Chain A
Amino acid sequence: MPNMSLKKNEMPTQSAELRQKNFEEVALGYTEAQALDEALRCLNCKNSPCVQGCPVGVHIPQFIAKVAEGDFEAAYQIISQDSSLPAVCGRVCPQESQCESKCVRGIKGESVGIGRLERFVADWHNEHTTAPAQKPEPNGHKVAVVGSGPSGLTCAGDLARKGYDVTVFEALHLAGGVLVYGIPEFRLPKRIVQKEVDGLKALGVKIETNMVIGKVLSIDELMEEYGFEAVFIGSGAGLPMFMHIPGENLRGVCSANEFLTRINLMKAYLPESDTPIQDLKGKNVAVVGGGNVAMDAARCARRLGGEVSIVYRRGMEELPARAEEVEHAQEEGIVFRTLTNPISISGDADGNATSMTCIRMELGEPDASGRRRPVEVAGSEHELPVDCVIMALGTTPNPLIKSTTEGLEVNRKGGIVVTEDGLTSRAGVYAGGDAVTGAATVILAMGAGKTAAKGIDKAIMGE
């Protein structure tokens, strides 16, 4: 008998009061009882609209049915047929605009908590399963994966499971890409990422850190000298975008990439870390932008003791961040200055940022993206005191690989051009994730890694 409650089981979380002072995970995860109860809300629709909303096509009703039966391991096995990183996706996917947006239960009431169930299943598996991974029979083919973020890890995992000899080359000192340098601990604990990476290693995937492909080795060298039959480029997002407004290079102004890398990858918030970070205790912090990265930066700044506001040129409705992140940010005391856009930053005699001049915006006609275009309201300039400004405006693709790989076609924005199979303009070279699309989501990058893995397998082994 389905559970006809109109509301999802609430996610237990650390209280807003407590969590804004620590970097521990905010959402604590369902208990078994909550998961069983939530699973019973699924109507197991025959046409499964939710699956169409999932970029990697997880068999959602089937896994939820197993949860309802209390067979959590079976549920995990169903998810892992399609998703290589369930513990990650259960935490960071924008479910409300994907699977859950298609859920029939969402027509009247709230959708089934698919993301929360996915997370529960993945965590249960990680806690209860000790059986070592079965190393697949090697098929004798070597593939290189450039970048160990979501697209690279997915591509590597899918190929390794098919018996390929896979080596992942990571530019930084730690594997995980944006999962370790970008997404904060309180949203995605690093032990979970490490677990996924360890899982790949158990499958026989080799991970080489400190290997900046395009500098240390070129794509051509990987193929010609090291004998990789195919290469997947998942090098991710590159240089941060700035607004090109006066004062943007004052001290105290940085990109979200820099701020988050110092905190997440370099652990600058821990006293034992040697990496410096601006002292934000009691300081005014403005984060410019409205995406997930902006929310992450704002919430980190809050945890460092800052009085934080989000400055976004469109309205609350248009915020591209996950709904849950916006809610959490609000609960943590972050002020949303929407319909506001910075026009300049001024500083003191030493070059420290002290104030940001902003202008109010109103929404006009829809632009190419379909969102209503923000227009400046004349005469509405006002000052916002700031000690720190964090620019979270997106990124442009990393230039290192395209500049050292001849014949690799890129589009106007610098994204690598690929076919449906993820194949680039170079034979045997595939690409996916932010390196192709520009800044997007973890799950889309995973989907691209999956597509490329299929493409590579098809090209090497034949149809």
Chain B
Amino acid sequence: MYRIVEKTSLTPTLTRLTVEAPFVARKAQPGQFIILRVDEMGERIPITIHDYDREKGTVTIIYQIVGATTLKLEQKQVGDCLQDFVGPLGKATETEGIKRVAVVGGGVGTAIAFPVAKRLHEEGAEVDLIVGFRNKDVVILEDEFRNACTNLYIGTDDGSYGRKALVTELLKECIDGGAEYDEVFCVGPLKMMKFVSEVTRPYGLKTIVSMSPIMVDGTGMCGGCRLTVGGETRFACVDGPDFDGHLVDFDEAIRRGGQYGEFERHAYEAGCNLLKKEVK
């Protein structure tokens, strides 16, 4: 069993959780993910690794409460255990040889952008970290970000914090301002990654996106996580999760991502109703 050692609410819907998982902590690299199950009848869900401590044998994830499983996960407290926590899965993000980079994150995706930015920064790269949020209330991890980059750019959709700008606009400004990036690394909602890839395409600027499609086993068996990349079928769990953003068929990925939307909504509502009853 995998014991929860720390739990912090970052915003009403974003939670940071640190779990004892020594085998995962031992090997984890930026860009990789884990699969967890909350309990015996739980679903297997993939979550990207936010941070790890090899000495303490712990792994930290940040999740957004979106469905039944994350709602269930949110009920767990420090000292409780998760049924399963397996990883690290997927390929690590390639950071070697990168001297100048823009790391772009949106929403909960910033949690994943963080370890990549941190690794690149530690390796001596000049890192522009560009993060976007809906508004001031959901801005997270600002101090952590600041320590993991050379320049931090924060944008909000409504201008309530940082610049009133989308990450695509901030990125374009940086590029046009003369930043000569070797690469752009981007993680966030599919739509955001699609548009970031469109921003960099005319510049011929290599853009890596971190994909998180539907997955069941996460070990190269079910094929649920397949994506079309450059016209070929690729599997996020073993070939990814990082892919060339200029080659990913985002529209297909967006459609496939919504496959179980109705089930999720029902399960989420049922979960909420159950909790309401408990509170009463």
Q: Which residues of A contact B (CB under 8 A)?
A: 171-173, 181, 209-212, 215-217, 236-240, 242, 244, 248-252, 254-255, 257-258, 261-262, 265-267, 270, 272-278, 350-351, 395, 398-400
Contact = CB atoms under 8 A, between A and B. Distances in A.
Interface stretch (B54-62, B190-198, B254-262): B254-262
Given A216-B23, A216-B86, A272-B41, A254 B256 contact: no
Given A210-B84, A239-B235, A249-B228, A398 B216 contact: no
B224 interface: yes
A210 B221 contact: no
Nearest to B90: A215
A273 B42 CA distance: 6
A274 B42 contact: yes
Contacts, number: 119
Contact of B216 (A216, A248, A261, A272): A261
Given A273-B41, A274-B42, A400-B238, A255 B255 contact: no
A276 B217 contact: no
Given A211-B86, A249-B252, 13 more contacts: A173-B83, A173-B84, A210-B85, A211-B23, A242-B233, A244-B233, A257-B221, A261-B217, A261-B221, A261-B222, A272-B41, A351-B255, A351-B256
Contacts of A209: 84
A93 B27 CA distance: 40
A212 B23 CA distance: 10
Contact of B220 (A211, A248, A275, A399): A399
A398 B217 CA distance: 12
A56 to B, nearest CB: 26
A259 B264 CA distance: 17
B223 interface: yes
A453 to B, nearest CB: 25
Given A239-B235, A266-B44, A350-B255, A258 B87 contact: no
A258 B216 contact: yes
Nearest to A257: B222
B115 interface: no
9 contacts: A172-B219, A173-B44, A248-B233, A258-B223, A262-B216, A272-B41, A274-B68, A275-B43, A277-B263
Contact of A216 (B24, B72, B238, B260): B24
A224 to B, nearest CB: 15
Contacts of B233: 242, 244, 248-249
A400 B219 contact: yes
Given A239-B238, A276-B264, A173 B221 contact: no
B23 A257 contact: no
B88 interface: yes
A277 B260 CA distance: 8
A225 to B, nearest CB: 11
A449 to B, nearest CB: 19
B220 A238 contact: yes
A170 to B, nearest CB: 10
A276 B262 CA distance: 10
A143 to B, nearest CB: 20
A173 B222 contact: no
Contacts of A236: 221
A344 B83 CA distance: 41
A266 B40 CA distance: 10
Contacts of B84: 173, 209-210
B69 interface: yes
Interface residues of B, number: 41
B267 interface: yes
A242 B225 CA distance: 13
Contacts of B263: 276-277
A289 to B, nearest CB: 14
Given A239-B238, A274-B43, A258 B222 contact: yes
B267 A398 contact: no
A273 B41 CA distance: 5
Contacts of A248: 233
Contact of A215 (B44, B69, B89, B259): B89
B226 interface: yes
Contacts of B246: none
Contacts of B50: none
Nearest to A351: B255
Contacts of B219: 171-172, 212, 215, 398, 400
B37 interface: yes
B154 to A, nearest CB: 34
Contact of A398 (B23, B44, B220): B220
Given A255-B223, A257-B221, A274 B69 contact: yes
A435 to B, nearest CB: 12
A173 to B, nearest CB: 4
Contact of B238 (A242, A350, A399): A399
Contacts of A215: 27, 87-89, 219
Contacts of B83: 173
A217 B255 CA distance: 35
A171 B86 contact: yes
Contacts of B221: 181, 236-240, 257, 261, 395, 398
A210 B38 CA distance: 14
Contact of A251 (B41, B43, B255): B255
A212 B89 contact: yes
Interface in B29-75: 37-38, 41-44, 68-69, 72
A274 B267 contact: yes
A238 B235 CA distance: 11
Contacts of A244: 233
A217 B24 CA distance: 10
Given A257-B221, A274-B43, A173 B37 contact: yes
A183 B108 CA distance: 38
A215 B263 CA distance: 32
A249 B252 CA distance: 7
**Top 6 closest pairs, chain A to chain B, by CB:** A351-B255, A276-B263, A258-B222, A210-B86, A255-B223, A276-B260
A252 B224 CA distance: 11
Contacts of B86: 171, 173, 210-212, 216
A300 to B, nearest CB: 14
Given A239-B221, A240-B223, A276-B267, A267 B216 contact: no
B272 to A, nearest CB: 14
A275 B44 contact: yes
A213 to B, nearest CB: 10
Nearest to A211: B23
Which of the listed residues B42, B238, B256 has the most CB atoms from chain A within 10 Å of its own CB?
A: B238
